[in-house]
Amino acid sequence: MNSIAANEIKTLKLSIYRYDPLKKEKPYMQDFDIDIPLEKDLMVLDVLMLAKEKDPSISFRRSCREGVCGSDGLNINGKNGLGCITPLSDAVRSNKLSIRPLPGLPVIKDLIVDMKQFVDQYKKVKPYLITDKKVDTREAIPQTVQEREKLDGLYECIMCGCCSTACPSFWWNPDKFLGPAALLQAYRFIADSRDTATEERLEQLEDAFSVFRCHGIMNCVSVCPKGLNPTKAIGEIKKMLVKRAL
């Protein structure tokens, strides 16, 4: 139970990154005092919504508010995470909460980043099943329980962008290094027993940048709100590429 820590918070010192592209001001941090109901361990998203009631011009994305849609990836007290499933008891330090947009992507406004580079990299890995197995529309392509288990930890990605925007290699080469999210997706199809395009997929990944710019820093693993392990998936791809080159 985390509610004990939350009970200690009364008036939270909240600080939010503000930027309006149409105004001349540089980006700045806007401070708020937010009164927190004592009995509940609120999530960071709840606090953002309370702040928006005070200042409706604050912009951020949100949808499911339960950690499955991936809208509200944010930098919360220095660490990437989803606002809607990060409790204050985990995030707040010394009664202070500082919220910034995900790092490494262009900021459109306030906490909203331009996800285009992220989505473009996702699309590059052909994130869909390619198969030459005979498909009868009256039945499923067979897959054993063991084969299906290989997709656990891969298919659950919600495309929130927390991992790729926590990755120094992605900050450095967002156009050439695919980033942990896209590579996790690449491996999700390589690992799928129904997919028959492994060779084609590996060929596309064998340059010096797409995969090999991953240096195993593991920021992606540390921030993934779904507990996934992109570094491991990238390691598997690297192994396959090395084996293939020999």
Partner 1 sequence: MAMNGKGTLLDAASLPVKEFDGIIVGGGGSGMMASLQLAKSGLNTAVVSKVFPTRSHTVSAQGGITCSIQSADPDDDWRWHMYDTVKGSDFIGDQDSIEYMCKEGPEAIFELENMGLPFSRTDEGKIYQRAFGGQSKDYGKGGQAERTCAAADRTGHALLHTLFQANVKAGTNFLSEWFAVDLVKNQNDQVVGVIAFEIESGEPFFLKSKATVLATGGAGRIYQTTSNALINTGDGTGMALRAGYPVQDMEMWQFHPTGIHGHGTLVTEGCRGEGGYLINKDGERFMERYAPNYKDLASRDVVARSMFTEILEGRGCGPDADHVFLKLDHLGPEIVHKRLPGVTELSKRFAHVDPAEHPIPVVPTCHYAMGGIPTNVHGQVISQNPDGTDKIIDGLYAAGEAACVSVHGGNRLGGNSLLDLIVFGRSAGLHIEETFKSGIELDNPSSGDIDYALRNLNRVNVSQSGENFVEVKKDLQKTMQMNFGVFRTEELMVNGIKEVSNLREKSQNIHLADKSSQFNTARVEALELLNLIEVAEATAISANERKESRGAHSREDYPERDDDNWLKHSIYYADSKQVSKREVNFRPKQVQAFQPIVRTY
2 near partner 1, rule: CB under 8 A: yes
The residue among 143 and 173 lying less far from partner 1, judged by its C-beta, is 143
Burial 189-219 (b: 16+ CB within 10 A, else e): bbbbbbbebeeebbebbeeeebbbbbeeebb
Selected binder of partner 1 within 24, 137, 208, 246 (CB under 8 A): 137
Q: What six digits make up the tokens of 219? A: 């920021």
Selected binder of partner 1 within 51, 189, 211, 240 (CB under 8 A): 189
Selected binder of partner 1 within 25, 132, 140, 243 (CB under 8 A): 140
Residue 33, C-beta contacts closer than 8 angstroms, at least 6 positions apart = 11, 12, 13, 14
Q: What six digits make up the tokens of 232? A: 């491991």
Measured distance CA(213)–CA(116) in Å, rounded:
20
The residue among 217 and 221 lying less far from partner 1, judged by its C-beta, is 221
21 near partner 1, rule: CB under 8 A: yes
Cα 186 from chain centre: 15
Q: Where are the alpha helices (DSSP H) in the chain?
A: 3-7, 44-54, 88-91, 116-124, 145-149, 168-172, 179-190, 198-205, 219-223, 230-245
- Contact code string over 52-71 relative to partner 1, x by CB under 8 A: -x--xx-xxxxxxxxxxxxx
Q: Scanning residues 71 to 130, which ones bind partner 1 (CB under 8 A)?
A: 71, 85, 87, 108-110, 112, 115, 119, 123, 126-129
Q: Which stretch binds partner 1 (CB under 8 A): 96-104, 137-145, 173-181, 201-209?
A: 137-145
Interface ranges with partner 1 (CB under 8 A): 1-3, 20-22, 40-41, 53, 56-57, 59-71, 85, 87, 108-110, 112, 115, 119, 123, 126-129, 131, 135-145, 147-148, 151-152, 155-156, 158-159, 189, 192, 194-195
